Structure 1
Amino acid sequence: MPYPLDAAAVRAWCGLALEAVGRERERIDAINVYPVPDGDTGTNLYLTLESATRAVEAAFDGHASTGTAPGLADAMGAMAHGALIGARGNSGTILAQLLRGMTEVLTAATAPGGAAGPSAGEALRLALRRAAAATYEAVAHPVEGTVLTVATAAADAAERAGGDASEVARAAHEGARLALQATPGQLAVLGRAGVVDAGGCGVVALLGALADTLSGEVSAVPVVVPADAPLPGAAGCETAAPGEPDGCRDPHEDGPAFEVIYLLEADDDAVARLRTRLDGLGDSLVVVGGDGLWNVHVHVDDAGAAVEAGIEAGRPYRIGITHFGGTTGRTREPEMAARAVVAVVPGDGLAGLCAEAGATVVSVRPGEPPASGELVQAIRQAHAREVMLLPNDPELRHTAAAAAEQARTEGVRVALIPTRSAVQGIAALAVHEPGRSFDEDVVAMTAAAGATRYAELAVAERQSWTMAGVCQAGDVLGLIDGDVAVIGSDLAGTAMTVLDRMLSAGGEMVTLVLGADAPEALAERLERHVRERHLAVDTVVYEGGPYAAPLLIGVE
């Protein structure tokens, strides 16, 4: 018996979709050759749907606390929003846009009872057509034979179908499945590798789960990637067709070096300008969202410029920067680097700095620490057999330890370097040497971090007791090694006092990381102070960007 298209159906749909992609995740990862053969499309799809599922469950929990039940618009809105804020990679970002397109139509079609109106089948047909159109709008340079083609075929099949929403969903699933099988003949890189489009697999899984939900019957063809499907190998994947976008290539050698993804709070006009700027910086540009919140994904050589473009457009956060070095499209699976570094950093400037040094970066802003799952995903994206994990925050010790333990169960050798500040992380990254033994590298990086005393300047938000006495709201606090050591009235004066205290015990190098709100002449004043008061001490200055502390100090 068909089931209504309502909030309960959306909840069940999420669970079935997540289960389906979870079953296929590794095989989807294995056939991932376009747009970049980095072997993580299945994982990215799974994480995106996981975020969508959590958001729907939160919506149900929120309504339960008030004794009400969510409607279709509530559930679909939560699903689309969860996918948007949790989208990973090119495929996950497009999937989030597809769900947003469906939500626009189904929300408008919601009947007073909280389900789709009398013509639920027609509403679903319109929703799938809007979803397909939305995916094309999100991609800077659409390419056929990809997830876009599969979504359009699903919408075409839905329009030809009659009957209720259950029949429409089943027709859409079958149309998507047939289109997926045809993708190797549409995109040369897939044909040479002998695989279907990995991102398209996500659409097939999503629509199969929807059809099963509305019909109450499990599809006879639940598998997205056939068990006997060939995996991409060396044969036929050596050269791309002339002029083919991206092609089957080593992204580190022939294409952009970094994947940059972030959430962005900005208005429509600013995002339009951002699209133009990012399109000139790299490729695989996908911008999805609306109503002031966007998810931005792009592959570039200059990660810092991509982040700066976001800063000019609005407020970027949850910035992720992945270095493509070590992946290759010429092997059966992404080539694993011998060793990599994963670093958690505050501020966009430090994110770009660490990424340029070869680290996979998890960028955070105050009050939004990463979950262990985010760190595990960053470790996976590093594509390395051995990983040095730099939490750069004492509060992340347990989270990082849990992530390291999870990664170890997946066969990755992980060392948790006990960095308590971003400046300790910079010091550790500076001595990182993949060519020496793992244990020697751990010792060297740990020693460099331990030899770096760290300080942070912050502004007191309220009156409180500290180890240096009572502070008032607006006072400048100088924290040395995590404890308040100086209370001052201005940033420069307090910073000089902190520097003098730290250098009184000796030091050869001072590192200054300036937040976006630091006074323009602060760095020059502090450099001059160190030069005049502490001979033979060098100073290096970095821009931390938005969300960094007003000033971070490291003394080695």
Structure 2
Amino acid sequence: MPHEPQPQAPDELDAEAVRTWSSLALAALGRAREDIDAINVYPVADADTGTNLYLTAESADRGLAEAFPGVTDGTGTTSLAEAVRAWAHGALVGARGNSGTILAQLLRGVADVLGAEQPDPAEHGGKDGRGTGGLLARALTRAAEEAYAAVAHPVEGTMLTVAGAAARAGEAAGAAAGTAVEVARAAYDGARAALAETPGQLAALSRAGVVDAGGCGLVVVFGALWQALSGQEPAAEPVRGRAVPVPQPQDPCAQEEDGPAYEVIYLLEATEAAVGELRERLDGLGDSLVVVGGDGLWNVHVHVDDPGAAVEAGVVAGRPYRIRITHFGDERRRARGERAQRAVVAVVPGEGLAGLCGEAGATPVLVRPGELPAAAELLDAVRRAHAREVVLLPGGAELRAAAAAAAEQARAEGVRVAVIPTRSAVQGLAALAVHDPEGSFDEDVVAMTAAAGATRYGELAVAERQSFTSAGICQAGDVLGLIDGDVAVIGSGLTETAEAVLDRMLGSGGELVTLVLGPDVPDAVAERLEAYVQHGHLAVDTVTYRGGRYSAPLLIGVE
């Protein structure tokens, strides 16, 4: 259950104050998210800044809730240090988009100070919360410094500008012996004033006649801080998205559709030295690069034309996971309207397949072997699709429960969702091939379900150890040919085993063979298999795709 904000003692800066701040910020961002989405024009006019900030704050609040009643400070309550660290960690692992990633680093900066220092009762005369005022001012300053450092090429007129102005105002109040409430109020006022100036600092905002969307969300967060410490609710106008009365054109998101085509986000386990090299490599691949985190765990965000190269850079640096790739083409088009009518979300095991689905208009969810997405990740993809109707292709029987849970939650949020029980990526491709976004929802779902159901699927894998299978005993290193999920062939070579699998699958007929090659399979294998099909089945066509990193050695579909 959501935490109910509790009344705070004046200037008390403890774990409960942090918890109240988190709850108030989440509620306020929830109210403001649609208005903030509507003015989102920079760095990409994809109308999701408010949503990304809200989802990041939601993850942070969930991480904080899990810390109660965590490590205690001797009085039976969670310590301030434990609370702020859990809050920042929750934001880091759940950060969404450019704005959410920066917000996560801001919270980390706050945690770096509040989690390490204690209020000094002797500071500024030592009474009535003045020690906590200085501590809060230092935390806000550290937050702004770390946020600027996390962005490869900081731009003024953005939420970085708002964070910096808030920190300077808070620092001035703290230096003047201000209490925590006075520091929070100064930071809030400084953020509001800076937000009003953003259209004059960034040409994209000036052309659209709007303030910065990320900065608008940050004003909401600072307003929640002041409310948590003072008990006074901020004025309504600054927390509703349009913080200043600026003229609004009929199409505030109209701008040139240039820039990289994909947004890539992933968590990364790596050393700080490796992350330094990763920053340089990603900076050469695209823009909007933000890398936040520390202590071995990082959140990487970048806009690129080659998502595979961005993920590959993460593989070189360490262990990337929870990889999300979003194609901006549909996002930019959807930004011109409130929501798309219908979208497809497809779970795929491979970068190449993710790119293929993205080009076809679907929102891909990229998975690594052995790391299945949770319901929350599928729900996030449904939300990112920005559609009234969503067709969800889970791509595996083991994901049906997670897909059903995500669909149920999305329906509660007003989205019509249908889950097509695809058990393989090739079934998803078949369903996507007949997808008709202009037809009725029910007819589209029926056609996609029929196409998926009519596609037999095969897969080749390499046995890791000796084991019993439905086709007999296999040894480590044997090539296993699976048909519809069961081992049907045990062979010694990839090509020979694939031919045996194709013979069995085509024995009951078929018109089209789909081959999805893994990253290490040479083109010669595809050429040989295409020739093999053509020689034995003249009426059968063959289409070949590259699955990319994380895909199986070979996927086969027969329709």
Normalising by structure 2, report the TM-score. 0.84
AA in 1 matched with 2:223: G
Tell me, yes or no, if structure 1 residue 265 matches structure 2 residue 277.
no
CA–CA separation in structure 2 for the residues paired with 1:236 and 1:495: 53
Q: 1:160-199 CA deviation, whole Å, 9 max, x = no partner?
A: 1123434322322222122223323333433444432221
Mapped pair 1:298 → 2:308 = no
Does the 8 Å CA contact 2:28/2:239 hold for their aligned counterparts? no
1:144 matches 2:156? yes
What's the secondary structure of 2:193's corresponding residue?
helix
Corresponding residue number in structure 2 for 1:500: 503
Q: 2:386 is matched with which residue?
A: 383
How big is the shift at 1:340?
A: 2.8
Quote the offset at 1:233 in angstroms: 4.6
> Which of 357, 372, 377 in structure 2 is aligned with 1:374?
377
* Alpha carbons of structure 1 residues 67 and 356: separation in structure 2 relative to 1, 3 Å: farther
RMSD: 3.6
Match of 2:125 in 1: none
Paired residues for 1:466-481 under 5 Å: 466-469=469-472, 476-481=479-484
Identify which of 100, 119, 128 aligns with 2:140: 128
Amino acid at match of 2:399: L
* 2:299 counterpart of 1:284: no
> Structure 2: which amino acid aligns with 1:320?
R
Aligned match of 2:59 in 43, 51, 64?
A: 51
Structure 1: distance between partners of 2:411 and 2:133: 47
- For residues 301 and 550 of structure 1, the distance between their equivalents in structure 2, rounded to whole angstroms, comes to 25
Who is 1:221 aligned against? 235
> CA contact under 8 A between 1:344 and 1:392: conserved in structure 2?
yes
Structure 1 segment 66-465 matched on structure 2, within 5 A: 70-110=78-118, 119-161=131-173, 162-215=177-230, 217-221=231-235, 224-226=238-240, 233-235=248-250, 237=252, 249-250=254-255, 253-328=257-332, 334=337, 336-408=339-411, 410-459=413-462
Give per-residue Cα distances to partners, 1:514-552, cap 9 Å, x unaligned: 444668976566556556665554444433344333432
SS in 1 for 2:555: strand
Write the letter of the residue equivalent to 2:160: L
Which structure 2 segments of 5+ residues have no match? Answer: 1-8, 121-128
Gaps of 5+ in 1: 238-247
The alignment partner of 1:36 has SS state of coil
1:100-127, CA deviations, whole angstroms, 9 ceiling, x for partnerless residues? 2222233332589xxxx99443332222
User: Letter of the aligned partner of 1:350 in structure 2?
Assistant: L
The one-letter code of the counterpart of 2:200 is G
User: Could you tell me how far 1:385 is from its partner in structure 2?
Assistant: 4.2
After superposition, the Cα gap between the structure-2 partners of 1:406 and 1:484, relative to the gap in structure 1 and judged at 3 Å, is same
Q: Deviations 1:464-494 (Å, cap 9, x if unpaired)?
A: 6654456677665443212333455665554
Distance 1:547 1:304, change over 3 A: closer
The answer to whether the aligner puts 1:549 opposite 2:549 as a matched pair is no
2:31 maps to which of 23, 38, 44: 23
Higher mean C-alpha deviation, range 450-459 or range 185-194: 185-194
SS at match of 1:45: helix
The question of whether the paired residues in 1 share the 8 Å contact of 2:36 and 2:242 is answered with: no
Answer yes or no: is the 8 Å Cα contact 2:119–2:132 preserved in 1. no
> What is the alpha-carbon distance in structure 1 between the residues aligned to residue 70 and residue 457 of structure 2?
42
Matched positions, count: 538
Give me the whole-angstrom Cα distance separating, in 2, the residues matched to 1:156 and 1:82: 26
Change (3 A) 1:153 1:501: same
> Shift of the alpha carbon at 1:316?
2.7
Change in 2 beyond 3 A, CA 1:540/1:327:
closer
Could you tell me which residue of structure 1 aligns to residue 5 of structure 2? none
Greater shift, 437-446 or 457-466, is seen at: 457-466
Q: Report if aligned partners of 1:90, 1:297 keep a CA contact under 8 Å in 2.
A: yes
SS in 2 for 1:163: coil
C-alpha distance in 2, partners of 1:73/1:521?
58
- Cα distance in 1, alignment partners of residues 76 and 524 from structure 2: 56
Q: Is the 8 A contact 1:317 1:363 kept in 2?
A: no
Residue identity over aligned pairs, in percent, reads: 70
Cα deviations by residue, 1:432-452 (Å, 9 ceiling, x for unpaired): 343555444334322321221
Q: Per-residue CA shift, 1:209-232, capped at 9, x if unaligned?
A: 2333334x1334365335886698
What secondary structure is seen at the aligned counterpart in 2 of 1:254? coil
Instruction: Label 1:90 to 1:285 Cα distance change in 2 as closer, same or farther (>3 A).
Output: same
SS at match of 1:203: helix
Question: What is residue 36 of structure 1 aligned with on the other side?
Answer: 44
**Conserved 8 A contact 2:334-2:386:** no
Residue 184 of structure 1 aligns to a residue whose secondary structure is: helix
SS at match of 1:108: coil
Q: Deviations over 1:211-257 (max 9, x none)?
A: 33334x133436533588669853585xxxxxxxxxx5446x33433
Aligned letter for 1:262? Y
